[in-house]
Amino acid sequence: MQQLVIRNDTSLPLALSLQLVVANLPEGVELANDVDTTEVVSSVGSPVADVIVEEESFLSPGNSVTVTLMFRNYDEVPITYTPKLYSGLNL
């Protein structure tokens, strides 16, 4: 399990829905709590995790949200990945 903090460091609100793509996972490692896989954006086939924000329809400037990532690591290899955040796209 890993917790990833996403903070809006911009001066504008980030529109929901937010999706976190977990790209470049090592072979033998899976995201256990994924909700989908990418079909269009780069890193096609990468797992996608929903980012749940406790606000109406955006992540306000300066605010943050924590995403919990659960992994299956069959080969017990070091877990590395590239996080990519998308807003309101059909991935």
Mark out the alpha helices in the chain (DSSP H runs).
Answer: none
Give me the tens of pLDDT residue by residue for the chain, a chain 91 residues long: 999 999 999 999 988 888 999 999 999 999 999 888 988 887 889 999 988 887 668 899 999 999 999 999 999 999 999 999 988 767 6
Q: pTM, whole model, 2 decimals? A: 0.87
Number of other CB atoms surrounding residue 35 within 10 Å? 11
